[in-house]
Amino acid sequence: MATPKIVLFYVFTPLPDPEAVRLWQHTLAESLGLKGRVIISEHGINATLGGDIGEVKAYVRATKSYEPFRGADIKWSNGQGDDFPRLSVKVRPELVTFGTDDEITVTADGVQGGGTHLKPGALHKLMDERGDEVVFFDGRNAMEAQIGKFRDAIVPDTETTRDFIAEIESGKYDDLKDKPVVTYCTGGIRCEVLSVLMRNRGFNEVYQLDGGIVRYGETFGNSGYWDGSLYVFDKRMHVEFGAGAESIGRCVACGESTPEFVNCADLACRKLYLRCAECTAAGRQPRCTECVAAPYPAEAAAG
């Protein structure tokens, strides 16, 4: 592959016939040899696709030629080639699975009732004016924040996006209800929904980082409020915004800074945990900390 590129974008817009859009998107992406994941629902489209730059550009042009997708904000990043195992284009009830389909209203203008969008520059303006009050609220799964997050961000205890409702209804964040809260996620899509859910539950001043961490990193690199690496859902697994990014993640075996996630060797677990390249090469601690704490069934039986 000459110049591998990855595109990431979403559009919230009413799609009366998601199945027709799925067929079109599948044919389009497949004909161009792209791989990755596209989710379509009655609320729009969410896509992460990789391929050679010429083919990816042709895909973007064709996708934007469909009127409801014309305004799609496309985020580009460099791939390594073969970043995704296959092409998957699916219709789902929700673009992001919060389990709150009926709480979200989407019009041609996007999601209704969400937090105020802040572009990276506007976020810095808010921080300049009210930095002492502003709270960053991580809209991703907690695991992703292990290698990078906004400074002093609150990281809810979430294994999947479905866990957010219980978290924001738990009362543990009630002290934030009258503070300026900035939600952020990888590309911005999860915050489109999360910020609605938070506003509906009494958080009075909610902002969402427009374009997510990806756009912020392009704009400010490591010189702003972002610390560490960004977890991504393809073979790269993490990206850094320029040189000098030190991951905030720590290897479970040696404690060194690392952005490298590996799967737990226990086949019943397979959870991702942090282990540096050196410890991986040396075969140190092949299981996650929870599995290390719990004995193997065989050991338990023998012991």
Residue positions annotated with a catalytic role = 185
264 near Zn ion (CB under 5 A)? yes
Q: What type of residue sits at position 95?
A: L
Name the residue nearer to Zn ion (CB basis): 232 or 262: 262
- Give which of 275, 137, 281, 123 is closest to 198, Cα–Cα: 137
Distance CA 261, CA 274 (A): 5
Give 119 or 271: the residue with its C-beta nearer to Zn ion.
271
Cβ at position 177, least distance to Zn ion in Å: 36
211 by Cβ neighbours in 10 Å (0-12 / 13-18 / 19+) ranks as: buried
CB 209 within 8 A of CB 216: yes
User: Which CA distances in Å does 220 have to 40, 123, 187, 226?
Assistant: 31, 11, 15, 9
Nearest distance from residue 148's CB to Zn ion, in Å? 18
* Span from 48-56, 158-166, 214-222, 246-254 in contact with Zn ion (CB under 5 A): 246-254
Q: Which of 266, 282, 299, 300 binds Zn ion (CB under 5 A)?
A: 266
Least CB distance to Zn ion at residue 162 (A)? 21
What is the smallest separation between the CB atom of 156 and Zn ion, expressed in angstroms? 22
> Residue 248: which residues within 8 A CB-CB, separation 6 or more?
146, 147, 148, 149, 227, 228, 229, 257
15, 89, 123, 276: residue in contact with Zn ion (rule CB under 5 A) = 276
Q: Which 127-156 positions form the footprint of Zn ion (CB under 5 A)? A: none
Token pair 């902002």 in the structure block, residue:
207
Nearer to Zn ion, 167 or 278 (CB): 278
Contact 135, 182 (CB under 8 A): yes
292 makes contact with Zn ion (CB under 5 A): no
The site that binds Zn ion (CB under 5 A) totals a number of residues, namely 12
Of 5-13, 60-68, 204-212, 261-269: span binding Zn ion (CB under 5 A): 261-269
Asked whether 90 and 39 are in contact (CB, 8 A), the reply is yes
- Give residues in contact with Zn ion (CB under 5 A): 251, 253-254, 256, 264, 266, 269, 271, 276, 279, 288, 291
